[in-house]
Amino acid sequence: MAAARVVVRGPGSEARRRPSLGAARLLVLLAAVAVLGPREGGASRLYREGQDAVWLLDSGSVRSATVNSSAAWLVQFHSSWCGHCIGYAPTWRALAADVRDWAAAIRVAALDCAEEKNQDVCRTYDIHFYPTFRYFKAFTKEFTTGENFKGPDRELRTVRQTMIDFLQNHTESTRPAACPPLDPIQPSDIRSLMDSHSGQYHAVLFESDGSYVGREVILDLIPYDNIVVSRALDRDKAFLGTLGISSVPSCYLIYPNGSHGLVNVAKPLRSFFASYLKSLPDVRKKSLFLPEKPNKEETSEVVVWEEFDRAKLYTADLESGLHYLLRVELAAHRSLAGAQLKTFRDFMTIIAKLFPGRPSVKKLLETLQEWLANLPLDKIPYNAILDLVNNKMRISGIFLTNHIKWVGCQGSRLELRGYPCSLWKLFHTLTVQASTNPEALVGTGFEDDPQAVLQTIRKYIHSFFGCKECGEHFEEMAKESMNSVKTPDQAVLWLWRKHNMVNSRLAGHLSEDPKFPKVPWPTPDLCPACHEEIKGLDSWNEDQVLMFLKQHYSRDNLVDTYSVDQGSPGDQGALGREQEGGEGLHPSEKPWGHQDAESLRPPHMLGPRTDLSKNVHHRLDLKLQSPKGLQALEEAKAAVPFLGVGFSSLDMSLCVVLYVASSLFLMIMYFFFRVRSKRWKVRLYHPSV
């Protein structure tokens, strides 16, 4: 059944409107949205289940598929929001279709790390950047993270040839059973074949040493009966002459009755040789190994289109971006140390001081920043950061949504815009806030550096942003001109110029949303004063652009519409309540951008602000919730294996802080009383006259 898409638009949507629906028809649409729900199974946004030849894996299937498999695997770990991954998807589809006949020997698969349910498995396989290609050998008994792709480029032909090299790297005992021998045979073997009557066709591809045509044809004929294909090299010129072969590649065919001769094809290409051999009489195709089509009919994608104003900045976009940054993208790193840890500390300092969002989110960011700054450790496990973000300490008044809800960053398809859009908005907001509120950075060490925000963003992108090619492009732009920034206002304009450069470069790219074309921004309808004509050429009035950016990314222009409500002041936060009931531990269990009725509660005013560091230390004695289920128990044990107690990494790190502080206090008290006792003894034995 073809996947259906339901698009619901608000009455003021910027998309082209259709005639308004009647009340009954609208109810039908809303009911459809409620009933259909998200896609299930291993479906990926860039690849179509049951239509593409790509095998779709997820957290529940990748390990069982690749461990002790009868076939080798080439898996692309990608992210559906990554522009390079989107642009590469047609090549990957074409590769999978091109080698679909090789599936009994090696299979082409994909796993979407952007799906939150896959974040743990992507961390397990040590995936930091996208796309990452990994090979998995057949009949591997133990778990392995695979072998990295080592081709000079990622063109279809290159990847196909490296697949062949990988198959040949198998030992005789681990080679896929369905994979024929790929090494060349000798002239003596060919003579023996000519003298025998095997009752089936035997084709020999003669080729040069560096050619892959013979091996490709061998693999193309795997699913065909009554024919065997081998390859031979063109080193013995005299032998080739006896067979009438004057050029390579050429195909020599031995028939079932023992006769033999040179095959004549119009062009000496892989497709011509393979097509000819497949069309021989009595050569029949066996059952083909292909990804199964989904059994369920509920394979519908639901896109709920929200009404929004392009002139506004939406809290939901910024908070969804922070949620994805902290809970998904950062999860690719099991621990942070050295330069990575410093980069993350600096990044969180910038965000905590400049983020203009809601008080509860700001309080969470400030708590995380203070904890990172005061923790005397050179290495921090990611799980400790996650515990704080998820508010396992039950600190009142801190909150960060665990759902994705794109509004100004929503796309016409799930893989378009979204997270990269929210990051750009966040970066612009930080540069503007640093320019308009410079006092926010006082005491951080960044207050006198006009490049501080840009350089911190630059280091974050280099260390953590999943799209590697995107990060390389940003680094090139930074090397070119970032050092020329001398004032905070210049930093605002620098980021704006580079964003427009990126838009220009990606215009027409597959990652471009047709409903949101990549054009110079702000457009004339948003900022007429920003545009002027000089000698007939459309030009920017950068003074007006700066004024527009400062207004657009200001706190006054931030709209809380569609943001997740945060609960009452006495609560531990919506996330904490969900975890207490055993729910909400896996945000991916809920549809992207969809909120259920329970998670939407009436907003209330937050309680009075308290000192954050005192708050954290005051709550050290609170008992954490008991982990429920085997998975939670294993995670808790893994957090502190030497104690065997279900404390989180955050608890242990805070205990270390208290332990060090109490040890220092005891040492000081010891020396204090020791000095006093010596003075007392002096007075006792040497009384004054």
Q: Residues with catalytic annotation?
A: 82, 85
Q: Two tokens at 281?
A: 């009489």
Q: How far apart are CA 66 and CA 137, in angstroms?
A: 8
Other CB atoms within a 10 A radius of the CB of residue 206 amount to 25
Strands 558-559 and 537-540: unpaired
Q: Two tokens at 402?
A: 């665990």
N-terminal to C-terminal alpha carbon distance within the chain: 108
Cβ-Cβ contacts under 8 Å for 420 (sequence gap 6 or more): 81, 82, 83, 467, 470
Q: How far apart are CA 171 and CA 135, in angstroms?
A: 15
Cα–Cα separations (whole angstroms), residue 656 to 370, 424, 532, 659: 16, 38, 61, 5
Contact 37, 591 (CB under 8 A): yes
Vertex 187: Cα angle to 186 and 193 (nearest 5): 95
Q: What is the DSSP secondary structure assignment for residue 70, as one 8-state letter? A: S
Cα–Cα separations (whole angstroms), residue 166 to 147, 174, 182, 186: 10, 12, 11, 23
Burial environment of residue 603 by CB neighbours within 10 A (0 to 12, 13 to 18, 19 or more) = middle
* Closest to 398 (Cα-Cα) out of 232, 626, 204, 612: 612
Query: Angle of helix 488-506 relative to helix 419-436, nearest 10 degrees?
Result: 160
Cβ-Cβ contacts under 8 Å for 517 (sequence gap 6 or more): 507
Three-state DSSP state, 210: coil
Q: How far apart are CA 270 and CA 268, in angstroms?
A: 7
Cβ-Cβ contacts under 8 Å for 145 (sequence gap 6 or more): 124, 125, 126, 134
Where b means 16+ CB within 10 Å and e means fewer, 370-394 reads bbbeebeeeebbbbbbbbbbbbbbb
